[in-house]
Amino acid sequence: MPTVRSETVDVAVSFPHLLYSEKPPIPASLAPPPVVEPPAARTPDDLKRIAAHRAVELLESGMVVGLGTGSTAAHALDRIGELLRRGVLRDIVGIPTSKKTEAHAAAVGIPLSDLHAHPIVDISIDGADEVDPSLNLVKGRGGSLLREKMIEGASRRFVVIVDDSKMVPCLGGSGLAVPVEVIPFCWGHTLGRLRSLFEGVPGFDVKLRRAAVAAGDGGKDEPFVTDNMNYIVDLFFENGIHGDLDLISDKILRITGVVEHGMFLGMASSVIIAGKDGVTVLDEQQVR
């Protein structure tokens, strides 16, 4: 490993008279106005980091913390690891919501456990794919919805962290997937029952998630497999989901072969939203 050091080098100056100006200083009144640099544009990833760091401020030493999955939650993991290393936080126990999060949390030094050992979680921090005005969520576009729902459902407080692109007028409103985890056995039959459930809904579509689609690399065309060795069936609602969400949730869950769906209804305690104009925090008491 090469050592990097800084040093001062004396350089002979051939024409020292050129090092200063003979011109008198410009009077302040004639000087051009100071250049005010515009604030650096924030990228979507900056916004995710801002929301994540705000959520981590809620942690206290000794807490059992549900660790979310995805690109936003990853910033929370990094921040928790950093605060543990600096001794600002101590004795945190993390409960990871996916194998990927487990590996990431271990790499940044967060001690880990599970719901067996810690059935009550003080606080969970996780991202979301969609947030509606009542703080209902769509989650699971990364495929981790089942473990997330188990751990976040066992949490005293569930804090959702998003950039403002995730806010929608109604669930499914982004036109992107509402995931349903199904067992692989006869998945086509389960997909058919999900299709029948929404028959007649304009703009509805349903697809088995493929690994190539999830990886975005156009590679192997195999079903995407979750951490629980299940498949994901993605529901698409061109115009969003309208109607009684609890009833729709029950109907989906009553289909044998469905393990869980990615609508997280009435679960979020608060949502921290980072946008280009700042951070907004919505609490469940404000909206329900």
Ligand X SMILES: O=C[C@H](O)[C@H](O)[C@H](O)COP(=O)(O)O
- Of positions 128, 170, 191, 268, contacts ligand X by CB under 6 A: 128
Using the minimum distance from each CB to ligand X, give the nearer residue, 3 or 214.
214
Which of these segments, 51-59, 106-114, 122-130, 219-227, binds ligand X (CB under 6 A)? 122-130
Helices (H) and strands (E) in the chain, counts: 8, 13
Closest by alpha carbon to 262, among 97, 103, 85, 35? 97
- Site residue total, ligand X (CB under 6 A): 18
Choosing from 102, 130, 148, 181, which is the catalytic residue? 148
- Of positions 127, 172, 173, 257, contacts ligand X by CB under 6 A: 127
- Of positions 54, 55, 64, 69, contacts ligand X by CB under 6 A: 69
Closest by alpha carbon to 144, among 114, 99, 112, 83? 99
- Of positions 145, 170, 177, 233, contacts ligand X by CB under 6 A: 145
Q: Is residue 152 annotated as part of the catalytic site, yes or no? A: no
Q: In the chain, what is the straight-line distance between the N-terminal and C-terminal CA atoms, in Å?
A: 58
Least Å distance, CB 208 to ligand X, is 17
> In this chain, which residue has its C-beta nearest to ligand X?
70
- Of positions 81, 94, 96, 140, contacts ligand X by CB under 6 A: 140
Distance (Å, rounded) from C-alpha 273 to C-alpha 79?
Answer: 17
Give the helix/strand (H/E) hosting 122: strand 121-126
Distance (Å, rounded) from C-alpha 201 to C-alpha 185?
Answer: 27
* Residue-wise burial string across 88-112, b where 16 or more C-beta atoms lie within 10 A, e elsewhere: ebeebbbbbbbebbbebbeebebee
Question: Could you say whether residue 96 binds ligand X (CB under 6 A)?
Answer: no
Question: Could you say whether residue 72 binds ligand X (CB under 6 A)?
Answer: yes
Question: Could you say whether residue 129 binds ligand X (CB under 6 A)?
Answer: yes
258-287 residues in contact with ligand X (CB under 6 A) are none
Catalytic residues, which ones? 148
Which residues bind to ligand X, rule: CB under 6 A? 68-73, 126-129, 139-145, 148
